[in-house]
């Protein structure tokens, strides 16, 4: 479980991006952070893997303060997927997925074998494995981004607007794939979106962020729709 305990983030220019946030993200679930632009969703997400340090308060993973986790352990435990996929442009699709496991000590051969399996899992044909990211469609790049994050087999996956750069039909397809993968792999997923429909479709729990860097609601989609 991931717990925010009175977390505030004030940027050096004085902007309070997250104001006294307390909530719990369940293990093995998809928790969605939703809300308009600028209300602190990305900041909250990035504090989970310490890309951003809170100004005050604590974030606990399975009861341990993330500030006590060695950096290398955090990278292994928490995968990260961003809008536009953030792929390495000068590496092939296969090597984008295989690189991190190789850095972690897997042999190149094994890592490439595993990468092919992961690409299949996210619905990318093996014939595209030798291409470079620029030679793929947006939807295909996003699939590679998910495969790359899964390559280290992290129990937790953070996804920041993973589907917002693709057209609606592809988005639909990627959302289905994510739900299928989640059913298979049971990861703890925290996903940021500004799209309430996406939040309701994907979330086991939905955290609604509002103006003023506040948490307005935290509920299941069924409860949100009933409210």
Q: In the complex, which residues of this chain contact ligand ADP (CB under 6 A)?
A: 11, 13, 15, 17, 35, 37-43, 134-140, 166, 170
Our CB check for ligand ADP shows the closer of 38 and 155 to be 38
Give me the least distance between CB of 63 and ligand ADP, in Å please.
26
- Evaluate whether 74 touches 139 at the Cβ level (below 8 Å): no
Gyration radius of the chain's alpha carbons: 17
Our CB check for ligand ADP shows the closer of 138 and 221 to be 138
Our CB check for ligand ADP shows the closer of 43 and 96 to be 43
59's tokens = 């974030």
Give me the least distance between CB of 77 and ligand ADP, in Å please.
22
120 alpha-carbon distance from chain centroid: 20
Residue 103's H or E segment, with its range, is helix 93-103
- Evaluate whether 8 touches 19 at the Cβ level (below 8 Å): yes
Can you tell me the distance from the alpha carbon of 204 to that of 210, in angstroms, rounded to the nearest whole number? 20
Which residue number places its CB atom closest to ligand ADP? Answer: 137
62 alpha-carbon distance from chain centroid: 18
Give me the least distance between CB of 38 and ligand ADP, in Å please.
4
Our CB check for ligand ADP shows the closer of 86 and 138 to be 138
Give me the least distance between CB of 92 and ligand ADP, in Å please.
13
Q: Give the number of C-alpha atoms closer than 13 A to the C-alpha of residue 40, restricted to the C-beta side.
A: 26
- Give the chain's end-to-end CA distance (angstroms, integer): 26
DSSP secondary structure letter of residue 183: H
Our CB check for ligand ADP shows the closer of 142 and 188 to be 142
Give me the least distance between CB of 175 and ligand ADP, in Å please.
14
- Evaluate whether 177 touches 3 at the Cβ level (below 8 Å): no
Our CB check for ligand ADP shows the closer of 136 and 149 to be 136
Give me the least distance between CB of 136 and ligand ADP, in Å please.
5
């Amino acid at each position: 479980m991931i717990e925010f305990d009175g977390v505030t983030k004030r940027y050096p220019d004085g902007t309070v991006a997250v104001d006294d946030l307390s909530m719990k993200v369940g293990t093995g679930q998809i928790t969605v952070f939703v809300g308009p632009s600028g209300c602190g969703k990305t900041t909250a997400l990035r504090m989970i893997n310490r890309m951003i340090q809170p100004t005050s308060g604590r974030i606990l993973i399975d009861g341990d303060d993330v500030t006590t986790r060695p950096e290398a352990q955090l990278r292994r435990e928490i995968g990260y997927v961003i809008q536009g996929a953030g792929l390495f442009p000068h590496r092939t699709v296969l090597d984008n997925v295989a690189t991190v496991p190789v850095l972690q000590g897997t042999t190149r051969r094994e890592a490439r074998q595993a990468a092919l399996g992961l690409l299949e899992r996210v619905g990318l044909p093996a014939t595209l494995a030798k291409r470079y990211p620029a030679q793929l469609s947006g939807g295909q790049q996003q699939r590679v981004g998910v495969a790359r994050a899964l390559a280290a087999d992290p129990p937790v996956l953070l996804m920041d607007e993973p589907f917002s750069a693709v057209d609606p039909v592809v988005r639909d397809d990627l959302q289905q794939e994510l739900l299928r993968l989640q059913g298979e792999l049971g990861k703890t997923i925290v996903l940021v979106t500004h799209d309430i429909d996406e939040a309701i479709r994907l979330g086991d729990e939905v955290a609604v962020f509002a103006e003023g860097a506040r948490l307005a609601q935290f509920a299941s989609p069924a409860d949100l729709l009933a409210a």
